[in-house]
Amino acid sequence: MARRISVIIPNRNGEQTIGRCLDAVFASSSDDFEVIVVDDCSTDKSIEIISRYPCSLVPLDRHSGASRARNAGAARATGEILFFIDADCLCLPDAVSIAARAYERDSQAVIGGTYTRIAADDTFYSAFQSLFIHYCETKKSEPDYVATHAMVIDAASFRKSGGFPEDFMPILEDVEFSHRLRRAGYRLTMDPAILVQHIFNFTLGKSLGNAFRKSLYWTIYSLANRDLLRDSGTSSVELKTTVLSWFTNAVFIMLGLSAGKIGWLLPVPLVFGASLYANRKFLALLFTAKGSSFGLRAALYYTLLYPVAVGTGGIVGLLKYLSGYVPSLKKETSQT
């Protein structure tokens, strides 16, 4: 018998996207589902927009962040399956149905979906980001973590786990949650057929700012979790290789210029070539997804400019960690 699925959406000042998000969910091909939107004290017209839809609206009493919003939605849910998405994500018509079927195949796993290759706002920086995340999240059938932009989990298991950490960093609560459940014996699986289309609205500044911010907190969390070198979703071995290559070549170039000796420049093409080889599958996707013109521009952006923001964020994260900033991790839970 089909089980009911509860779609849980945290919202904070999402008036630009929440209507499109709810339109997409309610266009679902699934029959038995409910939609719960938890509003985190929005100051825009979000409440007015959400109220137009046949969903349950849960207003928080104080601005508390996405973790508390998701936990509050899970507490209100009546479905046996929880399907977490974000307020700037558009479910494809069959995403809810596919999520329910994925749960039936493995009800004790934390199941992840991902972004479509093409973003909802198909501009250059948004397209690059959607392709990057899609590639990183679908590389492995058993990922290192499951992201909350498309996460499916048994409701009873979620509640038993204690939910997402509310006293934590501004981001990466889904990574901490995934790692905690995996240590408790749950499996993490990826179903690339569960697709949501993300609204990024990225410009150059927003793209680089996002890369800096995520790298900063990834570095802090990874140092605290002792897994800095792990191939983990968007904190991928490919990206880490790209950043290491960029900064290594920067050192060689500076040494060559300061010493006035061309010999220091000889390793540069070798290091860059090694980085290209390590990223060959992702770079190929950039070309096949949107053509050679986009692929060339995206490859140059990824190898020459993007790693500057990621690397700088990592350095700042390291300094913050050394100064004593450590994320608060929740206690372990048990599957049995």
Quick one: pLDDT at residue 326? 86
SS3 per-residue string spanning 72-108: HHHHHCCCCEEEECCCCEEECCCHHHHHHHHHHHCCC
Quick one: pLDDT at residue 30? 85
Name the nearest CA neighbour of 176 among 329, 9, 10.
329
Measured CA to CA, the distance from residue 47 to residue 31 in angstroms comes to 25
Structure tokens at 311: 């690397």
Quick one: pLDDT at residue 72? 98
Quick one: pLDDT at residue 289? 96
Measured CA to CA, the distance from residue 185 to residue 156 in angstroms comes to 15
Parallel/antiparallel/unpaired status of strands 33-39 and 5-11: parallel
Which one-letter amino acid corresponds to residue 303?
Answer: T
Quick one: pLDDT at residue 220? 97
Quick one: pLDDT at residue 332? 61
The full set of domains in the chain, from first to last, is 5-203 (3.90.550.10)
Q: Tokens 């800095």 sit at which residue?
A: 228
Measured CA to CA, the distance from residue 163 to residue 171 in angstroms comes to 15
Over residues 278-318, the pLDDT tens digits come to: 999 999 999 999 999 999 999 999 999 999 999 999 999 99
On whether the CB atoms of residues 336 and 156 are closer than 8 A, the answer is no
Structure tokens at 50: 């959400």
Instruction: Return the C-alpha torsion angle 291, 94, 136, 333, nearest 10.
Output: 170
Quick one: pLDDT at residue 335? 62
Residues of the chain under the 70 pLDDT cut: 1-2, 330-336
On whether the CB atoms of residues 301 and 271 are closer than 8 A, the answer is no
